[in-house]
Structures are given as structure tokens and as C-alpha cells.
Amino acid sequence: MTMTATTHRVREGKLARVAVGMARFTLTQPLGTLGLLFVLVMAAAALLADWAPYDPTAFDMSAMLAPPSREHWFGTDAFGRDIFTRVIYGARTALAIGFLSSLIGCTVGAILGVASAYFGGRIDLVIQRCVDILLSFPIIVLALVVVAMLGKRMVLGIDVNLVVAISLPIIPKVARVARAAALTIREMPYIDAARVAGFSHARIIFRHICPNIAAPYLIMFTAYIAQAILLEASLSFLGLGVTEPTPAWGLMLSGNAVEFYREAPWMILFPGLAITLAVFAFNLFGDSLRDWLDPKFKT
């Protein structure tokens, strides 16, 4: 009885703290708030894409290369597909792939980094070599080969292999940061105390170390969503990422879209702007989040 009451109170307290925290974030980080707003708008667009005015894949040869108008806000492409609709659906593709890749990359990276720092010795050496190996592969090269190697596997409209390819280069970078962060915590007296008290490794890692690296994790997670979106766009642009007819921003710029520069500049303008805005927003938000969470930056 008392237990539930306590948890209830704790939860209320947490809620209040979150609300206060958000309010403080808004006040101290106007740029970050702007970024967050962009992100939220994009997320809403992605979620509500099904209400977009047109079918993103349906041809309308009678409306090919139509300029922006009341019917087609961003104009249409070479197949008469509505660009506004495709940009909206593209947000779904970009966010899904960006979010998943960053989540996988950061989580795997963090686990490796923490394990490396906590266990040390031979495990540390082996993990660090693996991290070095992955790091020495140039990002886009790694993605190129993995995409070519794994082919395409669609799950719920998302190419999981592409997600893997994009998350791979994130892993070693996160692992390094997580290791460094965990190392400083490992030396703290209370970890020693916990170890002496005979707590299990899992308990020490999850109860004591993980909460302490939550801040860098969150910062990296946001930043890598931006990078993942950019990498997905680059791969799609090269024809190695998302394939037609799936609406994706990088893909909308690829091939000979650029040949329509004079006839239909909106074809390369809006998808490019969408990529830029999306990455911009995530970076802006991530930056402010870092300034806000990192004690070193507090004045």
C-alpha cells in the first residue's frame, strides 16, 4: 500500500521535474527550442503522411512537371507525382531510417563501450581493436559495401539492411565516447563499494554506470539521427539506398532530376531543402541539448 503511494508520488515528482526542465530548456536554449519545434513538425508530418493530398506513387501524366500551385504546393515531378506529398512521405522514410540507425548504432556502441571500460583487460583490448577496425573503414565506403552485400530486405516498408549499413559506422564512434565516460565513473569509490558488496556485474552496469552515461548517450543519439539522415540521403543519391518508388529525399535528387533544373527547379529545390532543414533541426536541438546537459558548459 505504502509502496504504491510512494511510486505514485515519485512519478508525479518526475513529471513536474520534466515540465520544469522543459520550461528551463525553452528559456535558456532558444535555438534548441527552434530545432525541437522543427523536429516535432517533421515527426508530425511523418506520422500523418497518410493524410497527404495525393498518393505518393501514383502517376498523373496529365500533370507532369507542373509548377507549384494551389493543387500541387511544391509542384510535380516528371511522372506527375505530387512533390509536397513525396516530401511529406520522405520525412517518414528519413525519420524512420535515421531514428532506427541512430538507435541501433548508439545502443550497440554504448554497450560495447561500457563493457570495454568496465571489464577492462583482455575484453577491453579486443573490443578496442574491433572499434579501431570499424573506425578505419571510411563511413560511406562501409555503407556502400554493406548495402551492396546485403541487398534489400523490406520490413514494414523500411529496408532493414540499409538501417544496418548506416548504423555500422556509428557504433565505433559511440563506443569510444561511452568507454571514456564509463572509465571515469569506474574509478568512483561507490562503484568499488558496490563491487565489494558483491553486486552482480549486470546490476553495477545497469544501475550505476548506465545512468551516468545517459547524458552523452542522449546527445549522441540526437546528433547521429542527423548524420544518419544525411548518409541515407547520400546513399540514395548514389542509387544505393532507398529505391523507387519509395519517396525519399536523396532519391528525389538523384538520376537526372537535375536536368529539370530549368524546366522544373522545384524538383531539386524542395527535397534538398527538406534534407537541409531536417539535419539542421536535429543538429540545432542536439547542440543545445549538449550545452544544457553537459555540466562543463553551465555557467
Partner 1 sequence: MGRKLVWAGVLLALSMPGPAFADQPTKGGILSFAIGGEAPNYDCHANYSFSAIHWLAPHYSTLLKFDTSAYPSIVPDVAESYSVSDDQLTYTFKLRRNVQFHDGSPMTSADVKATYERISKPPKDVISLRSTLFEDVASIETPDPFTIVFKLSKRDASMLANFASPWNCIYSGDKLAKDANFPRTSIMGTGPFVFVEHAKGSHWVGKRFDRYFIEGKPYLDGFRAVLMSGPAMINALQGGQIVAEFRGFSPAEKSRLVDALGDKATVQESGWSCKLDILFNTAKKPFDDVRIRRALNIAIGRWDGARSLQRVAFVREVGGVIRPGYEFAAKKEELTKYPGYSEDIAAARSEAKRLLKEAGVENLKVTLLNRNLSMPYTPTGLFVIDQWRQVGVSVDHVQLETSPYQASLQSGNYDVGINAACDFMDEPNLQLLNYISKDLSSLNYGNYIDRTLDDLYEKQKRAANKAERYALVRQFEQRLFHEAYTAPLIWWHRIVVHHKQVRGWYITPSHYLGQDLASLWLAR
Partner 2 sequence: MLSYVGYRLLLVVPTLVGVALLIFLMLRVLPGDVVEIKLRGDGGHVTQDVVERERHRLGLDKPMLTQLVNWMVGLARLDLGTSMWTGRPVAEEIGARLELSLQVAVMATLIAVLIAIPLGTLSALFKDSAVDYVVRIVTISGLALPSFWLGMLIILTLLYVFSWSPPITYTPFYQDPLANLAQLIWPALAVGYRYAAVVARMVRSSLIEVLREDYIRTARAKGIVPRLVVIRHALPNALLPAITVIGLEFAFLIGGLVVTEQVFNLNGIGKLFVQAVSRNDFTLIQGLVMLLAVIFVLVNLLVDLFYAVLDPRVRYR
* Footprint of partner 2 (CB under 8 A): 31, 129-130, 132-133, 135-141, 144-146, 148-149, 151, 226, 230, 233-234, 237-238, 250, 253, 258, 261-262, 268, 272, 275-280, 283-284, 287, 296-297
Helices (H), 29-120: 30-47, 83-119
User: How far is it, in rounded angstroms, from Cα 204 to Cα 196?
Assistant: 11
One residue of 164, 240, 281, 289 binding partner 1 per CB under 8 A: 240
Residue 115 or 281: which CB sits closer to partner 2?
281
100 versus 252: smaller Cβ distance to partner 2 = 252
Stretch that binds partner 1, among 94-102, 122-130, 144-152, 277-285 (CB under 8 A): 144-152
Residues 162-191 that bind partner 1 (CB under 8 A): none
- Give the number of other Cβ atoms within 10 Å of residue 195's Cβ: 14
Cell 527547379 belongs to which residue? Answer: 265
Q: Residue for cell digits 527552434?
A: 34
Task: DSSP letter for 165, please.
Answer: H
Q: Which one of partner 2, partner 1, none is in contact with 64 (Cβ closer than 5 to 8 A by kind)?
A: partner 1
The enclosing H or E element of 248 equals: none
Task: Look at residue 284 and give the partner it binds from partner 1, partner 2, none, a contact being a CB closer than 5 to 8 Å depending on partner kind.
Answer: partner 2
Handedness of CA 60, 61, 62, 63 (dihedral sign): positive
Q: How far is CA 249 from CA 97, 191, 237, 246, 265, in A?
A: 12, 47, 8, 10, 15
Given candidates 6, 8, 19, 261, which one binds partner 1 under the rule CB under 8 A? Answer: 261
- Contact flags string 188-227 toward partner 1, x per CB under 8 A: ----------------------------------------
Q: Nearest-CA neighbor of 223 among 274, 271, 279? A: 279
The size of the chain, in residues, is 299
Q: Which is nearer to partner 2, 47 or 141 (CB)?
A: 141
Biggest CA–CA distance in the chain, Å, is 76
What residues line the site for partner 1 (CB under 8 A)? Answer: 57-59, 61, 64, 78-79, 148, 151-152, 154, 239-240, 243-246, 254-256, 258-263
